Structure 1
Amino acid sequence: MGAERYDGLFEQIRELVLCHSPSGAEEEIDAFLLARLKALGVEHRQDDAGNIVARIPGRDPGRALAITAHKDEIGCIVKRVNPDGTVEVRKLGGSFPWVYGEGVVDLLGDTATVSGVLSFGSRHVSHESPQKVHEEQLPLKWENAWVETKRSAEALASAGIRPGTRMVVGKHRKQPFRMGDYIASYALDDKAVAAVLLTLAEELREPAWDVYLAFTAKEEVGAIGAMYFSARQKPDALIALEISPKSREYPCGSDLAPVLVSQDSHGLYDEDLNRELAAAAQRAGVPCQHTILSQFGSDASLTMKNGHVPRAACVGFPADNTHGYEIAHLGAIDNCRRLLLAYCRNA
């Protein structure tokens, strides 16, 4: 069977990627997810923190497992709108201007979306121009960039562009790119795992425990949605579905194998739960690998660190260029689904 085996998964991720969802401005992805869960006929709700939670009744309703996939993406937040119609932004989550590069971005105004161009200034300049120093000496920061809209400040105000408005990479350049069995795209960090969670909602029936599939809000700015959900739902265990960065500092022997994380910036994960997940992977015929990560956190590590859950784990798919134009094997994303199905059915 050729690359077409992943066509359905690619299309599902593509639809999700094209739904803007910067942290705290997630209405577009919310509408998509709510409509999809309704069509699946799965019990679901949206809570006061913005999480969308589906419940799959289990054989032992006295115990509960939560699986989270955050639905927000990194982006920027508007700091000021200048009189000349240029817009200054600051990071929202782990975004960097040099990763996005000059190109179309979308400003999600209160009444309209305005597209502009993230700009760093002309290259044909000398030391008399402030951007010259970024060519050879200093890193480019958000303070050195701006969004060129070619609109008046009054027109931007009419569209609801103001301090606090969110900015994301424009849909003009957000279409995922297929590379055989690989997918390359912005926002795989959240949209690929959201696709896995949707598939679990469709396929998972009569798991060992009650399973809560939580599409969490505001993860990129501190796992705010997951903290709210876990404090109230109090699951017996929580598994975060995530992206896993590929780098020479982390052992990663296979692009196809899901990653079980033992430690990240916020602390340790539960090794007993990791062993159970590894056993489920073996039952499903899915390879897996282990790592510890730096400069990384998840719904799982933050909720366990804060005492909301007794056990937590993080299952990720390996990816290049995390928090940038990410590249991942579609088979690894699908293997996360297979692993979690095996675990839920026999936990």
Structure 2
Amino acid sequence: MTAANFDCLAYNRLFAIIEELVLCHSPSGVETEVDRWLENRFGQLGLEAWQDSAGNFVARIPGRDRGRAIAITAHKDEIGMMVKAVEPNGRIAVRRLGGAFPWVYGEGVVDLLGDRETVSGILSFGSRHISHESPQKAQQEDKPVRWEDAWVETKRSPEDLAAAGIRPGTRAVIGKHRKRPFRLQDYIASYTLDNKASIAILLALAEILETPAVDLYLVASAKEEVGALGALFFSQRQRLDALIALEIIPLAPEYTIEGGSVPVVLAQDGYGIYDEDLTRQIRQAAEQMALPLQIATISGFGSDGSIAMKFGHVARAACLGFPTDNTHGYEIAHLGAIAHCARILKGFCETVDLLCP
């Protein structure tokens, strides 16, 4: 089999796994669909796995040195919307959950995850054929759509919505039929790659990893988009020598990051600097596997790693990710960059002198 054919098969499988994950709704705090998927997949691999009281889904792989431990996190929650109010006409006022913007989603189907029923509605901005008398006129000329200007149209009565368990605090996300990923040659395009592709890296690592040098915790962390709450909980209670966060890395003219199949390790983000020795060891693992790796500093961004280190929960943290267009929108990433993250981490985790200065 040629290298090109091998890559094609690997990319096809990776795309299929990410597609399954993307179609699991998981807005922050309502992540059950992904939890069930993880329980099944980790169980198939025969890993010791559990869900903690903060909602993190954790798998442990014993290492050669049982006296030390690291965690690799990939958050399982996605951005979306939260119901603010159910209005008398059945329209639903929503506000952002995490870094979501209405103009990114556009008008279209969203799923409201009620307590007893999932109800689909239309994220709406109002008609276009209007005059200055309508507040939507400003959106056609010089103002972006705000959450305060948008609503979800359900054409249901407040009583019907209440019976479905739609209430203030109900989560809403892009409808499943709009979420199915799209293939652009060796690229994947989709909503929620931010978290679902990173979880796919965790799974790929679990499949290819032999015995790690130290105990390894694979953590699908909860509620990252609303303050890295799951990672903070886990890292406060579990003694860790280091934590590595898996993330999307935004492509923008202000950053010295190239798109394509080369992953990125961060030196700094909006929450502070990452550990220099740990970052160097990840770079060395990439070199040993003959895989290129970019290094960058960015802003307007944080990860489980930088937030846990900022609050003193871990002494050493790093962030490894894949370059992505349209972050927190309809994201586009190279399948090779996602696959290479798993390969780099395999080399890193199996290194005998892991974490030694």
Query: In the alignment, residue 224 of structure 1 is paired with which amino acid?
Result: L
Partner of 1:183: 188
| Greater than 6 Å deviation, 4+ residue runs | none
- State the match for 2:243 in structure 1: 238
Residue of 96, 101, 105 corresponding to 2:106: 101
Number of residue pairs aligned between Structure 1 and Structure 2:
347
Q: C-alpha separation between the residues in 1 aligned to 2:258 and 2:125?
A: 38
Identity %: 63
In structure 1, what is the Cα distance between the partners aligned to 2:32 and 2:272?
32
**Gapped runs of 5+ residues in structure 2?**
none
Does residue 280 (structure 1) correspond to residue 294 (structure 2)? The answer is no
Say if 2:338 is the partner of 1:333: yes
One-letter amino acid of the counterpart of residue 328, structure 1? A
Tell me the distance in 1 between the aligned counterparts of 2:32 and 2:314: 28
1:202 is displaced (CA, Å) by 2.1
Measured on the aligned residues, the alpha-carbon RMSD in Å equals 0.8
Map of 1:52 onto structure 2: 57
1:61 matched to 2:27:
no
Aligned to 2:263: 258
Distance 1:296 1:247 in 2: 13
Amino acid of the structure 2 residue aligned with 1:309: V
Task: Assess if the C-alpha contact under 8 Å between 2:205 and 2:343 holds in 1.
Answer: no
Separation in 1, partners of 2:281, 2:208: 21
1:83 aligned residue: 88
1:198-217 matches, within 5 Å, as 198-217=203-222
Unaligned runs of 5+ residues in structure 1 are none
Q: Deviations over 1:251-276 (max 9, x none)?
A: 11341111111111111101111111
One-letter identity of the residue aligned with 1:288: L
Q: 1:105: Cα distance to partner?
A: 0.3
Looking at structure 2, the residues matched to 118 and 74 of structure 1 have their Cα atoms a distance apart, in angstroms, of 15
* Partner-residue secondary structure (3-state), 1:212: strand
Equivalent residue letter for 1:96: F
8 Å contact from structure 1 (residues 284, 339) kept in 2:
yes
C-alpha distance in structure 1 between counterparts of 2:68 and 2:10, whole Å: 35
- Match status 1:7 vs 2:16: no
Between the aligned partners of 2:316 and 2:221, the Cα distance in structure 1 is 18
Query: What is the rounded CA distance, in whole Å, between the counterparts of 1:77 and 1:39 in structure 2?
Result: 34
Task: Name the structure 2 match of 1:322.
Answer: 327
Match of 1:150 among 152, 155, 159: 155
Letter in structure 1 aligned against 2:174: V
Q: Which residue of 1 aligns with 2:24?
A: 19
1:205 shift after superposition: 2.6
Asked if structure 1 preserves the Cα contact closer than 8 Å seen for 2:72 and 2:217, the reply is: yes
